[in-house]
Amino acid sequence: MKLELRAVVRLGVPAVVLAGTLYVGYVGYAGDRPVPVPPLGPFLHPTTGVWAVAAQDELPARVALRIPGTRDSVRILFDDRAVPHIFATRVEDAYRALGYLHARFRLFQLEIQTRATKGTLSEWFGEQALESDRSQRALGLAWSAERDAAALDSASTNGRFVLAYADGVNARIDELTSRDLPLEYRLLDATPQRWEPVNTFHFMKRMSYTLAYGHPDRLFERLTERVGAEAAAALLPLNSPIQEPIVPTGRNAPRFDAAPLPPPRLLAADHVATGSSAVGVQTFAGPPPGGMAATQASNNWVVAPWRTANGHALLSGDPHLDLTLPAIWFEAHLVVPGQLDVYGVTFPGAPPVVIGFNRDVAWSFTNTGADVLDYYEETLDDLEHPRNYRLDGAWRPLERRVEVYRDRKGRVLAIDTLYHTHRGPLLFHGGRARSMRWTVLEEESAVTAFLGLATARSVDEWLRLMQAFRAPIQNGVVADRAGEIAVISAGRYPIRPAGKPGLEVWDGTSSDSDWLGFLPPARFPFARNPAQGFLASANQQPLDPATAPFYLGAWWPSPWRAMRINQLLRADSAVTREAMQRYQTDPGSARADLFMPAFLDAAKRQRAAGDRGPTLALAARLLEEWDRRYTRDNERAILFELAMDALADATWDELLDPDDSTGQRRIFTPPGSVLASLLRHATSVWWDDRRTETVESRDAVLAASLVAGYDRALEKYGAPGEGGWRWDRVRQANIYHLLGYRSLSALNLPVPGGPGTISPLEGAGTEGASWRMVVELGPEVRAWGTYPGGQSGNPASPWYTDRLDRWIDGALDPLLFPRTPEDLPVERIVATFTVRGGQ
Amino acid sequence: MRRQFLEIGVLALAIGVATVWLGWWTVPLVGAAWGVARRGEGYPALTVAVSASLAWVLLLAVTSLQGPVGDFATAVGGVMGIPGWVLIGVTLAFPAVLAGTAAAVAEKLVTLRG
pLDDT, tens digit (0-9, with 9 covering 90-100), for A500-550: 888 788 999 999 999 999 999 999 999 999 999 999 999 999 999 998 888
Determine contact, residues A122/A103, Cβ cutoff 8 Å: no
**What are the pLDDT digits (tens) for A363-409?**
999 999 999 999 999 999 998 899 999 999 999 999 999 999 999 88
Delimiting residues of CATH 1.10.1400 domain(s) in chain A: 590-628+635-725
3-state helix, strand, coil in chain B (%, to 5): 85, 0, 15
Give me the numbers of helices (H) and strands (E) for chain B, helices first please.
Answer: 5, 0
**pLDDT at B109 > cutoff 90:** no
The verdict on a CB contact (< 8 Å) between A44 and B91 is yes
**pLDDT at A268 > cutoff 70:** no
Q: Is A381 helix (H, G, I), strand (E, B) or coil?
A: coil
Determine contact, residues A85/A156, Cβ cutoff 8 Å: no
**pLDDT at A275 > cutoff 80:** no
What is the C-alpha separation between A503 and A196, in angstroms, rounded? 38
Averaged pLDDT, A215-243: 86
> Which residue type does A708 have?
A
> Which residue type does A185 have?
Y
**pLDDT at A269 > cutoff 60:** no
Query: How would residue B114 be classed by pLDDT, with cut points 50, 70 and 90?
Result: low
Q: Is A773 helix (H, G, I), strand (E, B) or coil?
A: strand
Query: How would residue A280 be classed by pLDDT, with cut points 50, 70 and 90?
Result: very low
Pick the residue with more confidence: A446 or B105? Answer: B105
**What are the pLDDT digits (tens) for B6-40?**
989 999 999 999 999 999 999 999 999 999 998 88
| Contacts A39 to B, Cβ<8 Å | none
Q: Does A36 touch chain B (CB under 8 A)?
A: no
Q: What is the pLDDT, as a whole number, of residue A548?
A: 85
**pLDDT at A282 > cutoff 70:** no
What is the C-alpha separation between A748 and A544, in angstroms, rounded? 39
> What ipTM score was computed for the predicted complex, to two decimals?
0.96
CA atoms within 13 A on the CB side of B64: 12
Averaged pLDDT, A110-128: 93
Averaged pLDDT, A795-818: 96
CA atoms within 13 A on the CB side of A829: 17
**What are the pLDDT digits (tens) for A453-484?**
999 999 999 999 999 898 899 999 999 999 99
Q: What is the pLDDT, as a whole number, of residue A465?
A: 95
Percentage of the residues of chain A whose pLDDT score is greater than 70: 95
The verdict on a CB contact (< 8 Å) between B78 and A52 is no
User: A430-440: string of b/e by CB count within 10 Å (b at 16+)?
Assistant: bebbbbbbbbb
Nearest to A46 among B59, B72, B80 (CB): B59
DSSP for A301-357? EEE-GGGBTTSSEEEEEE-EEE-EES-S-EEEEEEETTTEEEEEEE-TTS-SEEEEE
3-state helix, strand, coil in chain A (%, to 5): 35, 20, 45
Nearest to B66 among A7, A21, A57 (CB): A57
| Contacts B91 to A, Cβ<8 Å | 44, 46, 51
**pLDDT at A292 > cutoff 70:** no
User: Checking DSSP bridges between strand A494-495 and strand A517-518, what pairing results, if any?
Assistant: antiparallel
Determine contact, residues A256/A544, Cβ cutoff 8 Å: no
User: Checking DSSP bridges between strand A733-737 and strand A324-325, what pairing results, if any?
Assistant: parallel
A residues 711..750 contacting B (CB < 8 A): 741-744
Q: Does B66 touch chain A (CB under 8 A)?
A: yes
**pLDDT at A642 > cutoff 70:** yes
**pLDDT at A290 > cutoff 80:** no
Count of domains in chain B? 1
The verdict on a CB contact (< 8 Å) between A18 and B63 is no
Q: Which among A449, A398, A445 has a CA at the least distance from the CA of A422?
A: A398
Averaged pLDDT, A546-570: 92
Q: Name the average pLDDT for chain A.
A: 91
Q: What is the pLDDT, as a whole number, of residue A8?
A: 75
**What are the pLDDT digits (tens) for A513-523?**
999 999 999 99
**pLDDT at A718 > cutoff 80:** yes
Q: What is the pLDDT, as a whole number, of residue B40?
A: 80
Query: A590-628+635-725 domain in CATH 1.10.1400?
Result: yes
The fold of the A225-249+264-277+294-371+447-495+521-582 domain, in CATH, is Glutamine Phosphoribosylpyrophosphate, subunit 1, domain 1 (3.60.20)
Averaged pLDDT, A415-436: 92
**pLDDT at B65 > cutoff 50:** yes
Q: What is the pLDDT, as a whole number, of residue A291?
A: 41
Task: Determine the structural domain holding residue B80 and report its residue range.
Answer: 2-113
Phi, psi of A519 (to 5 degrees): -60, 130
Q: Is the dihedral of CA A587, A588, A589, A593 positive or negative?
A: positive
| Contacts A15 to B, Cβ<8 Å | 101, 105
| Contacts A40 to B, Cβ<8 Å | 90, 94
What is the C-alpha separation between A548 and A556, in angstroms, rounded? 15
Q: What is the pLDDT, as a whole number, of residue A453?
A: 95
> Which residue type does A552 have?
L
Q: What is the pLDDT, as a whole number, of residue A376?
A: 94
Q: What is the pLDDT, as a whole number, of residue A57?
A: 87
How close A290 comes to chain B (CA, Å)?
32
**pLDDT at B43 > cutoff 60:** yes
**Least confident interval from A45-54, A92-101, A687-696:** A687-696
**What are the pLDDT digits (tens) for A728-748?**
999 999 999 999 999 999 999
**pLDDT at A147 > cutoff 80:** yes
Q: What is the pLDDT, as a whole number, of residue A276?
A: 32
Q: What is the pLDDT, as a whole number, of residue A279?
A: 28
Query: How would residue A283 be classed by pLDDT, with cut points 50, 70 and 90?
Result: very low
Q: Which among A231, A372, A211, A219 has a CA at the least distance from the CA of A296?
A: A211
Averaged pLDDT, B96-109: 93
Pick the residue with more confidence: A258 or A57? Answer: A57
How close B98 comes to chain A (CA, Å)?
6
Determine contact, residues A294/A210, Cβ cutoff 8 Å: yes
Delimiting residues of CATH 3.60.20.10 domain(s) in chain A: 225-249+264-277+294-371+447-495+521-582
Q: Which among A261, A637, A692 has a CA at the least distance from the CA of A700?
A: A692
Q: What is the pLDDT, as a whole number, of residue A3?
A: 56
Q: What is the pLDDT, as a whole number, of residue A209?
A: 87
Averaged pLDDT, A662-687: 91
**Least confident interval from A299-303, A683-687, A759-763, B99-103:** A759-763
How close A48 comes to chain B (CA, Å)?
8
| Contacts A741 to B, Cβ<8 Å | 78-79
Averaged pLDDT, A283-297: 45
Q: Which among A744, A761, A836 has a CA at the least distance from the CA of A324?
A: A744
Q: Which among A321, A353, A362, A371 has a CA at the least distance from the CA of A471?
A: A371
Strand partners, A477: A364, A487
How close A809 comes to chain B (CA, Å)?
25
